[in-house]
Structures are given as structure tokens and as C-alpha cells.
């Protein structure tokens, strides 16, 4: 159980990568596409990610914690890390892929790509825990 908790705690990498990428893209979009001033773009993007996005962050951390606990409790060998991380990415990204197609919002694509980057960057931390 302690091992699973350590793996769940590596999700700070996902949070950081997704937050930074979405913040930068949202900031640039607000600045250049929406025509906000520099200070308005800074504040509005932060509010959108933390205020409006709070529902996303809560759901994201609950689902990824459950998946980490389930997937890494059965297959703890380092050989299966890529499979587990890829499976998490597919399961969590599926609704965003659907919304990307349905609503044609590029923000979902940015989130999907940031999440796979976060999973890739998280892999060495999980390897260190399992070895």
C-alpha cells in the first residue's frame, strides 16, 4: 500500500506539466487571439485554470489516483510501467478526445498532449520507486 501511495504522489509531475502548458497556451490565446491586455491575460488565464478548471483538477486526481492504485498493485515490475502509464493516458484522455471531436476545441488537444508528456516525464520517478 505504501508503494502505491508513493506512485500516486508522483502525479505532481502531471499537474505541473498540464498546468504550465495550459497556462502558456491560454495566456497566449487570451493575449493574441482574444485581444486581452497583458495583465488581464495573466489574471484571466490563472482564474480559468484554477477556478473554472477546479472541477477538472479534482476529477483528474481522483481518477488517476484510483488507476495508479489499481494498475500498480497488480503489475509492479518495471517492465509494465509503460503499459500502465499508457493505459492511464488512454482511459483519462478518452473523454477529452470525444470533446475535441464533438466541440472542435483545440484546448482539449493541448491537455491531451500535455498529459502524455507528463506521463513520460513521470516514468523515471516511478522507476526509482519500484527499484
CA gap 109, 23 in Å, rounded: 14
Taking each helix axis from N to C terminus, what angle separates 81-103 and 54-74, rounded to the nearest 10 degrees? 150
Q: Which residue has the cell 491537455?
A: 111
DSSP state, 53? T
User: Which candidate, 84, 68, 96, places its Cα nearest to that of 6?
Assistant: 68
Instruction: Select from 103, 12, 110 the least CA-distant residue to 61.
Output: 12
Could you read off the pLDDT of 33-66 as tens digits, one per residue?
999 999 999 999 999 999 988 888 999 999 999 9
Phi-psi region of 36 (alpha: psi -120 to 50; beta: other; left: phi over 0): beta
Grouped pLDDT means (10 residues each) for the chain, 131 residues: 88 96 95 93 93 89 94 82 93 94 92 96 93 82
Which residues have C-beta within 8 Å of that of residue 30, sequence separation ≥ 6? 36, 40, 41, 44, 45
Amino acid at each position: 500500500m505504501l508503494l502505491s501511495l508513493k506512485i500516486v504522489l508522483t502525479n505532481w509531475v502531471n499537474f505541473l506539466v498540464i498546468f504550465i502548458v495550459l497556462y502558456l497556451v491560454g495566456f497566449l490565446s487570451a493575449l493574441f487571439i482574444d485581444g486581452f491586455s497583458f495583465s488581464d491575460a495573466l489574471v484571466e488565464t490563472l482564474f480559468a485554470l484554477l477556478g473554472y478548471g477546479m472541477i477538472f483538477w479534482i476529477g483528474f486526481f481522483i481518477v488517476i489516483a484510483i488507476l495508479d492504485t489499481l494498475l500498480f498493485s497488480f503489475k509492479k515490475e518495471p517492465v509494465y510501467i509503460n503499459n500502465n502509464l499508457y493505459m492511464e493516458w488512454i482511459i483519462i484522455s478518452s473523454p477529452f478526445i470525444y470533446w475535441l471531436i464533438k466541440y472542435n476545441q483545440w484546448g482539449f488537444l493541448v491537455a491531451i498532449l500535455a498529459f502524455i508528456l507528463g506521463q513520460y516525464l513521470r516514468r523515471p520517478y516511478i522507476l526509482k520507486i519500484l527499484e
